[in-house]
Amino acid sequence: MTDASAHRRLPLRQWLGYAVVWLALVAGMAVTLALAYVPLGRAQAAVHLAVAALQIALIWSAFMNLRRSSALVRLTACSAALWLVFMFALTFNDYFSR
Amino acid sequence: MSAHVSGPASILREPWPSVPRQREGVTFGMWAFLATEVLFFGALILVYAVYRDLYPDAFRAAARATDIVYGTVNTVLLLTSSFVMTLAIDAGAAGARRVAILCLAVTAALGTAFMVVKGFEYYEDIQNGLLPDAGLPLPSPMSRLFFALYWVMTGVHAIHLAIGIGFVLVMIVLLARSTLAAESPALDVAALYWHFVDTVWVLLYALIYLPGRS
């Protein structure tokens, strides 16, 4: 079967949406890079990680399609975050309480 | 079954009863694997977090010694590669095999460009003595901890990216030979892996290159 016969319309409107997501990701990087040179003191790490978390949320929901995935797949993705929280919470609980 | 037939018959594999179930199954399987990858990289980042909490000044000085230009260029390359990978999947879903192949080739090229930039960065790092040993030109010996983690985290990430590039190249060959249908869920899982490697870099960029600049 040739490409032409199997060819349906390319989802250009959806591609535009992905381009907006890409622009948002690059803009997020530019913002976090600019903020790296602003003396924010102890809040600096929190700002960097907050922007990174937003970027990751965008990639997971839009590019990795979690927003259109089934509950099973979404739960599996959330389980990764849950175990990560356990690992960090239990380890820092030890370090902060010594 | 003919390898050249495109459509549901060539996509469906044992033991799945239908293509939607197969797509759901492989997506679930890849996410289950990615959950273990989250914990793998999470453990490294946890070590980084503990030591950065214990030695904040040494980590700030060490992060300032990294080359932010290389790091930023590589971030843009990977974010763009993820965008193009998404286009490849959509083109595949629309049955546009050649567009999908083109987008996958651009994705692999951007991934390779990342590796080349990383190679230049590693070369300069070694020239500047940024190794976790006694020769590290920074005042605090605790900065060695940062660079031990820098080499391990970026090195493991580069290995993951190299696997991703190989994965994408295999997809290109299979699509070009029409062994794989453009709508195959195999493309979806390759994309999931690729995007995950991208998200790891987004976090590494924030942890390695940004601290200590102000």
What confidence tens digit (pLDDT) does each residue in B99-149 have? 999 999 999 999 999 999 999 999 999 999 999 999 999 999 999 999 999
Q: Which of B130, B158, B155 is nearest to B145 (CA)?
A: B130
The predicted-structure confidence for B76-97, as pLDDT tens digits, reads as follows 999 999 999 999 999 999 999 9
- Quick check: B199 and A56 CB within 8 A? yes
Question: DSSP letters along A20-36, please?
Answer: HHHHHHHHHHHHHHHHT
The predicted-structure confidence for B167-199, as pLDDT tens digits, reads as follows 999 999 999 999 999 999 999 999 999 999 999
Question: Does residue B15 have a cis peptide bond before it, meaning omega lies within 30 degrees of 0?
Answer: yes
Rounded to whole angstroms, the Cα distance separating A25 from B36 reads: 25
Rounded to whole angstroms, the Cα distance separating B149 from B51 reads: 10
**B2 pLDDT more than 60:** no
**B63 pLDDT more than 70:** yes
**B61 pLDDT more than 80:** yes
Q: B81-214 maps to which CATH number? A: 1.20.120.80
Q: Which of A54, A76, A94, A95 should one mutate to test binding to chain B, selecting the residue with the greatest count of B CBs within 10 A?
A: A76
Buried b (16+ CB within 10 A) or exposed e, B28-46: bebbeebbebbeebbebbb
CA distances from B164 to B15, B111, B113, B156 (A): 26, 8, 13, 12
Rounded to whole angstroms, the Cα distance separating B145 from B139 reads: 13
Q: Which percentage of chain B shows pLDDT scores above 90?
A: 91
Q: Report chain B's mean pLDDT, rounded to a whole number.
A: 94
Tokens 């040179």 sit on residue: A37
Beta-carbon contacts below 8 Å between A and B: 149
- Quick check: B198 and A45 CB within 8 A? no
- The separation between CA B109 and the C-alpha centre of its own chain, rounded to angstroms, equals 13
Q: Which percentage of chain B shows pLDDT scores above 70?
A: 96
From the list A39, A49, A83, the residue facing B214 with the nearest CB is A39
The predicted-structure confidence for B18-31, as pLDDT tens digits, reads as follows 999 999 999 999 99
Q: What is the DSSP letter of B1?
A: -
The predicted-structure confidence for B44-58, as pLDDT tens digits, reads as follows 999 999 999 999 999
Tokens of B212: 């200590």
Q: What is the DSSP letter of A60?
A: I
Residue ranges of domains in chain B: 81-214
**A95 pLDDT more than 80:** yes
